[in-house]
Amino acid sequence: MSDILSVRNLTTRFNTFNGVVHAVNGVSFDLKEGETLAVVGESGSGKSVTMLSLLHLLPKTTTTVSGTAEFKDGEQTHELLSMSEAEINRVRGRHIGIVFQDALSALNPVMTVGEQITESLTTHLGLTHKQAYSHALELLDNVGIAQPEKRFSSYPHQFSGGMRQRAMIAIAIACGPKIMIADEPTTALDVTIQTQIVELTRRLQREMGMTVIWITHDLGVVAGIADRVMVMYAGMPIELAQVDELYENPQHPYTEGLLGAIPKVGDSGAERLLSIPGAPPDLFKEPRHCQFAWRCDYAFDHCWKEIPPDFSVGERHYSKCFYDMDKEKPREQ
């Protein structure tokens, strides 16, 4: 599999009244064509901001983005972060589709759902209205919305939560993008609807050969959908691994803590959940050392001196931690 997206040192800062927020601090990763990469983190981890930065979806006046993001479309390579507004507009929706969390606010309430799909088709693919209409009906059917003709002319508020999410997926995949970014698409949905959406995404991915980035905080959903997982904390990816490897052999204390905090069906219930004491760090300070050290059981003096680099801890498994949890001592450098 070749790399379809290569991000190096992505850094995003927000200038606010109260100071500079260091939302994303040096994110680097490669996305392989056809895979599903799950980006996992809690609030404030920077997982959404990272993806929004790639597509210039953050307010321009207060945001500073630096780094590079190379998107390979066939033989051509485009550097996303240095694109102009016009250029990135041709990428958004056409080559990279995005599905947002809250479908009700992400969809225009005064446009019919059908119009929102055809808008993308006519703008990017230059289809005529008639072609766009029939294509949109196909899409609605493909994402599992019954009675597509009727639903085409319906408004978002007339849909249920699950259907709205399907509609958003239809809009995102309308132009056959190479990459689909899904930002917490199932968080607001009931669990039985969630399974429907996950199944739908898997099927579409197979059929269309799409690469998917799935942003979530739910480690259960990740287990069912991801090939690789990138765990983010305080604006940095602190662990990256194949999905089986991450769950069976987590190498970063934060990942270990996260996995221990989820209740597992079938546990006796009398055990306490592993909780990570404290809370995430203040993003107003530029990180100069490991940002997890305050809450870490294994922290030692070196952790306070510099930000840990990516250590290779297994096959295609990286962890930003100076401590070796297996050998129970600091890593040799």
Cross-strand pairs, 72: 77
Q: Which of 98, 210, 222, 236 binds other proteins (CB under 8 A)?
A: 222
Q: How far is the CB of 53 from other proteins (least distance, A)?
A: 21
CA dihedral 79, 80, 85, 88 (to 10 degrees): 110
Q: Which of 196, 249, 314, 324 binds other proteins (CB under 8 A)?
A: 196
Per-position b or e across 160-180, b if 16+ CB within 10 A of its CB: ebbbbbbbbbbbbbbbebbbb
Q: How far is the CB of 192 from other proteins (least distance, A)?
A: 5
Q: Which of 14, 155, 294, 298 binds other proteins (CB under 8 A)?
A: 294
Q: How far is the CB of 16 from other proteins (least distance, A)?
A: 9
Q: Where are the alpha helices (DSSP H) in 126-215?
A: 129-142, 148-152, 161-173, 191-208
Q: CB neighbours (10 Å) of residue 243?
A: 18
Q: Which of 162, 235, 250, 308 binds other proteins (CB under 8 A)?
A: 162
Q: Sign of the CA dihedral 92, 221, 216, 235?
A: negative
The residue among 109 and 263 lying less far from other proteins, judged by its C-beta, is 263
Q: CB neighbours (10 Å) of residue 271?
A: 9
Q: Which of 59, 74, 126, 263 binds other proteins (CB under 8 A)?
A: 263
Q: How far is the CB of 250 from other proteins (least distance, A)?
A: 11
CA distance 258 to 152: 42
Is 59 one of the binding residues for other proteins (CB under 8 A)?
Answer: no
Assess contact for 31 and 55: CB atoms under 8 A. Answer: no
Q: How far is the CB of 36 from other proteins (least distance, A)?
A: 12
Q: Which of 11, 50, 63, 194 binds other proteins (CB under 8 A)?
A: 194
Residue 46 burial class via C-beta count within 10 angstroms: exposed 0-12, middle 13-18, buried 19 and up: buried
Q: Which of 213, 226, 232, 313 binds other proteins (CB under 8 A)?
A: 226
Assess contact for 255 and 231: CB atoms under 8 A. Answer: yes
Q: Which of 127, 132, 172, 258 binds other proteins (CB under 8 A)?
A: 258
CA dihedral 248, 252, 257, 263 (to 10 degrees): -20
Q: How far is the CB of 290 from other proteins (least distance, A)?
A: 12
Nearest to 180 by CA among 212, 204, 142: 212
Q: How far is the CB of 193 from other proteins (least distance, A)?
A: 8
Assess contact for 79 and 32: CB atoms under 8 A. Answer: no
Stretch that binds other proteins, among 116-124, 148-156, 185-193, 316-324 (CB under 8 A): 185-193
Is 207 one of the binding residues for other proteins (CB under 8 A)?
Answer: no
Q: 120-129 contacts: CB < 8 A, separation 24 or more?
A: 120/93, 120/94, 120/171, 120/174, 120/175, 121/174, 121/175, 123/93, 124/90, 124/93, 124/94, 124/175, 125/94, 125/175
The site that binds other proteins (CB under 8 A) totals a number of residues, namely: 55
Stretch that binds other proteins, among 73-81, 167-175, 202-210, 240-248 (CB under 8 A): 240-248
Is 221 one of the binding residues for other proteins (CB under 8 A)?
Answer: yes
The residue among 38 and 121 lying less far from other proteins, judged by its C-beta, is 38
Is 168 one of the binding residues for other proteins (CB under 8 A)?
Answer: no
Is 218 one of the binding residues for other proteins (CB under 8 A)?
Answer: yes
The residue among 96 and 283 lying less far from other proteins, judged by its C-beta, is 283
**Interface residues with other proteins (CB under 8 A)?**
17-18, 42-43, 160-163, 190-196, 199, 217-224, 226, 243-244, 247, 257-267, 269-270, 272-280, 282, 284, 294-295, 304
